Structure formats: C-alpha cells, structure tokens
Amino acid sequence: MSPPRATILYAKDGYDTSRPRLMGRHAAGEGFLRGMVRHSGFDRLVALVPRPADAAAFQAQARDLSATMALEAVPEAELHRVAETGCLMLPGPEMVPFAWRRQRTGAAGYSLVGITHTTASHGAMDSIADLLTGPLQPWDALICTSAAVRASVRRLLEGEAAWLKQRLGATRFVPPALPVIPLGVDVPALARDEAARALWRGRLGVGPRDVVVLHHGRLSFHAKAHPLPMFLGLGRAAAAAPAGARVHLLLSGWFADEVQRGAFQAMAQALCPQLAIHHVDGRKPEVRQAIWSAADAFTLLSDNVQETFGLAPVEAMAAGLPVVATDWDGLRDTVEHGVTGFRVPTLMGGPMGDLAARHEATLDSYDSYIAGAAQFTAVDVGATEEAFRALVADAGLRARMGEAGRQRAAALFDWSVVIGQYRALWAELGAIRGKAKPGTGDSPRRADPAVLFADYPTRRLGGQTRLRLAPGIPDAAAAVARLTALAAIPGVAPRRELLPAEAGFQAALAVLEGGPATVAAMAAAVPPARAARLARALAWLVKVDVLRMAEDGS
C-alpha cells in the first residue's frame, strides 16, 4: 500500500445511485469511488467534505464498497490540507472557484483535476470557458471522457480565447491539461450469471430461440436517445427474424414523467406492434446488477448533445453483449465497429444559432435546448435495421462480438486500468508542480475585507496599536471572566468559532497586567501559528469593552 496521492471532493449527491432521478454522473461517481477503494493501492482514502453529513456518508459508502484502508474526511474549510496528498479530484468541470481558493495558500501546493460529464448546460459551458481567466496552472487538468468531448471543450476554449483577444488584446493563456481518460466499469461484477439469466427470461416469457435486445438507462426522447430509430430498426429486424425466434426489446430504465412514458408507448404501438416490449425499473439495484444476463444484445442509439461518453455500452461489453450504438461522441471510442458490435452513422443539421440564443437568454430551458438539437440529429435507420438483422439472425456472430467486447472492456475500461491512468496523471502533474515556484496571493474579486474596506474605519488595528484593559477590569482573569460572560449572551459573538480559545486570550491579556502594550507584544504571547487569529480578535475585545485604545504616552 502507498500513501494517497489524491483527495476526493465528496458530496453525497455526486455518488448516490439510490435517488429517483438517477443520472449517468451519479453512476459514474459511485463507480469511481468503488474503483478508488479497490484499485488505488492507497493506505488511506481521503475525502474533502462540504458538510458533516457528507463525512458520515463517505465513511458509510466506502465501507459498503468493502474499503479496508483507513478513511479520512477533511472539512472543506481546511482546503489547504489537500497539499498533504497533492491533488484534489473534482466531480465536474467547476475548477475555477477552487483555483481561486488555492491562491491564498499557494498555487503550487497541489493540483486540481476536474472531469467532464455533460458539456451542454449553461453551468458546464461557463465553467469550461472560465478556465482561461481563472488561476489554473500547467499542473492542473480537466479530464475529458472521450475524444469527441475534448474536441468540444477545445472549441469552447478557442472561442473564449478569441473573444478575450478581441476585447482585451490577451494573447497568453494557461489552460489546464486536457487528457482523455474514459469512465470505468467493474468488469468481473458484470459477468453473465446463468441463474439470473434463466430467472429473468422465465419471468419475461422469453423462449429458448428468442432474442432479447436490452436498452438500459434513462428513457427520455429529449435528453438521452430518441427511440424512433430503435423501434423502426428493431421492429423491421423482428419481422425478418428466423422462424420460431421472437425478438424482445427489454427497456431497463426509468421515465422522467408520464409524458415520456406515454410517448414511448405511443411510438412503440405505432412503429413496431410486432415487437415484444418489456419495461423494468433499472434504478433498482437488483435490476441494475442482473438484467444484463437476460439479454443477447444491447443497444443505445444516442442522438443527444448532453451525452459525452455513454457508460451503459461499456457495461454491456463487460457483460459479453454485442452492442448496436450510434457513431456519436464517446461511443465512437468504446464500440469497435464490426468487432464488438455496430456503430450506426449519424447526421446533424444546422445552423442552430437560434437554439443557442434562446438557451442563453433562458427563453428555452436546458431540456428544450437539447431536445431541439436532438430533433435535428438523425440516426441512419437503414444501417440500424441491418445491424439488428445481422445479430438477430446469427447466434454465432452475437457470441463472437460479445466475447470481443468483454475482452475490450477488460483491457481498456475496467476500473483497475482506469485508476492506473489516474495515478499516472497524478504523477505527471506532480512532476510539473514540483518545478513551480511557491507563492500565495488573494483573489482580486474576494479580497481581504480588512484591505478592501480599509478606508471605512477611523483607525485600523496594527502591530503597533497600543491597548489597555477597560476601566474596572483589574487583571487578565477578570477580563477573561467578563468576555466569557459576554460571549454567552446570544448575538454578542455571532461567529464565535472565529475567536481564539480561552487560553489564548488569557495569555495575551496577561501582558496588559503591567500596563498598556502593543498588539504585537500581546500576539507574541501565543504560538506563532495562532498569532494572527489572536491579533484580529483583539478588535472584538475592544468592541465588547474588555479592552480600550491606549492614548500615546498613557
């Protein structure tokens, strides 16, 4: 085992697959945590957590995933401790806020590594464009899960750079690295289970010569994959199936609402009435784990710009299923055409600048924006039909492609391989960071309020400011007793957690028992690491009339 070389930003929302509105990023987050638990080789797993509840959730989830290493949850308020591991893994592309916060303790202290999921939303687009003006460094990286998404990220950055050059004359930019690392799957866990296969096929009424084509994931015509090409292509292939073989379409997924459910049912009835269609809730753990074994082939005909990788086809390959997928985004990286399945050509119309303008102005919602883009993206129905016909007619072809897919998944997409790529990236970024000069600096938009608002007060507390005990307070003990009583009154110390411990006050106030003293002399009474906090708190003691300003010569 080795010490950790990365800290995970953990908020339960990003890793929770038990939610009703399950998204790909949740499944990817859970898979990443499982991969880290099993394949990181760390002697402890460290998470940066925004809330105490996230710390408990991290500990519980990691143990549920059979973590045997030590687990450590670091409060987000202690972000500087990421330097202990050297890297902060973020669950999305929102890197700039953390880069600004890193500035305060030194940009060379650690690396930031984000990852793409969808890049079509306002938030994702803005987060990527902001990479050029935030304090990102050469030792930071935004992982792109596919070559196609890296191309779109580069296009966004190039457009932003052109605008900054036109507006400000800017010519030098320091974007993060853009490595391509895929999402991973647990290949052994997806191996075919013959008992589960018999159970599910019996439950669905599937005959011994029947062919089951599985579609697993969200069932959404506007945000995932429009089902029309699937219904047309598979329906026509079913009509030409060998005698005695019935084709079944198994929809393992979940509808966003009843409108989506009704649309799927209406399209199926109108376009492929001869196809046997079954629906199971793919959010249930027992379904997500076992449903792959019921199938003979898998399909995902994605046509949506919100997609960037497509995890389900990789899971299908791990389960030994041939895949019929679109030649689209990350599917182009995962499905090897003619070897592990078939990639169906796609066609995008345009221009669609009006959709971008309406989305930017919030006249169209995100769902309307991606639905509009998908409406003008076509999937080749003829090629879809040919692919399904080939697989339905030839069990040998299904077996060969399925085995090729299983081998490809094990070689390229198993978490043991993917986490190895992460480790190599952390090492590469660490080597670059090691050559950087240390330094600190504030965020210009979030400056120290004592500096930003320095012209507001009559005077500022400084090291040579002289203070004395307020009238009626004879010594340090009396001063501490008074401030303790005052702090107990609701509202007197609304941010009590910012005050030093009582022992620190006691040591500093003891300096005044011999008469007025400077702030510097009082701060010197506590360890150096606590001096700045103590010095600042002396202003609060003046506020509550435990201390007063000492006039020159008093």
User: What's the pLDDT at 554?
Assistant: 41
Q: Which residues, other chains included, contact 427 with Cβ-Cβ below 8 Å and sequence gap of 6+?
A: 5
* Omega within 30 of 0 (cis) for the link into 351: yes
- 291 vs 251: CA distance, rounded Å: 10
**Residue 209 phi, psi dihedral angles, 5° rounding:** -100, 0
Which secondary structure element, helix H or strand E, spans residue 407, and what is its range? helix 395-412
Q: Coil, helix or strand for 112?
A: strand
Per-residue pLDDT of the chain (554 residues; tens, 9 = 90+): 788 899 999 998 888 777 666 677 778 889 999 999 999 999 999 999 999 999 999 999 999 999 999 999 999 999 999 999 999 999 999 999 999 999 988 999 999 999 999 999 999 999 999 999 999 999 999 999 999 999 999 999 999 999 999 999 999 999 999 999 999 999 999 999 999 999 999 999 999 999 999 999 999 999 999 999 999 999 999 999 999 999 999 999 999 889 999 999 999 999 999 899 999 999 898 898 899 999 999 999 999 999 999 999 999 999 999 999 999 999 999 999 999 999 999 999 999 999 999 999 999 999 999 999 999 999 999 999 999 999 999 999 999 999 999 999 999 999 999 999 999 999 999 999 999 887 767 778 888 898 889 999 999 999 999 999 999 999 999 999 999 999 899 999 999 999 999 999 999 999 999 999 999 999 999 999 899 999 999 999 999 999 999 974 44
Tell me, what's the pLDDT at 13? Answer: 82
Give the SS3 label for residue 469.
strand
In DSSP terms, which residues pair with 437 in a beta bridge? none
Nearest Cα residue to 34 out of 230, 190, 145:
190
- Please say whether the beta carbons of 415 and 184 come within 8 A: yes
The backbone torsions φ and ψ at residue 7, rounded to the nearest 5 degrees and listed phi first, read: -110, 140
8: β partners: 47, 89
Instruction: Write out the DSSP string of 300-319.
Output: E----TT-SS-HHHHHHHHT
Whole-angstrom CA distances from 30 to 59, 146, 296 are: 13, 19, 27
pLDDT score, position 19: 64
User: Contact at 8 Å (CB) between 180 and 144?
Assistant: yes
Token readout for 299 is 């399909």
Give the DSSP per-residue string, 433-460: HTTSPP-----TTS--HHHHTTTSSS--
Position of tokens 């492929």?
272
Residue 32 DSSP SS3: helix
CA distance 207 to 246: 8
- Domain map of the chain by residue range? 7-183+421-433, 188-412, 449-549
pLDDT of residue 28: 84
- The strand ranges marked E within 380-507 are 466-469
Reading the block at residue 392, the tokens are 């339905």
Return the biggest CA–CA distance within the chain.
108
Burial of 104 (0-12, 13-18, 19+ CB in 10 A): middle
CA distance 290 to 197: 8
Quote the pTM value: 0.89
Helices 228-239 and 381-393: angle between axes, nearest 10 degrees: 40
Check if CATH label 3.40.50.2000 holds for domain 188-412. Answer: yes
Task: With beta carbons less than 8 A apart as the criterion, state whether 220 and 313 touch.
Answer: no
Using CA atoms of 257, 261, 266, 271 in order, give the dihedral in degrees to the nearest 10: 130
* Concatenated DSSP letters of 128-168: HHGGGTS---TT-EEEBSSHHHHHHHHHHHHHHHHHHHHHH
Please count the residues of the chain: 554
d(CA 32, CA 38): 10
Paired residues of 88 in beta bridges: 7, 112
pLDDT (0 to 100) of residue 438: 77
Contact 212, 248 (CB under 8 A): yes
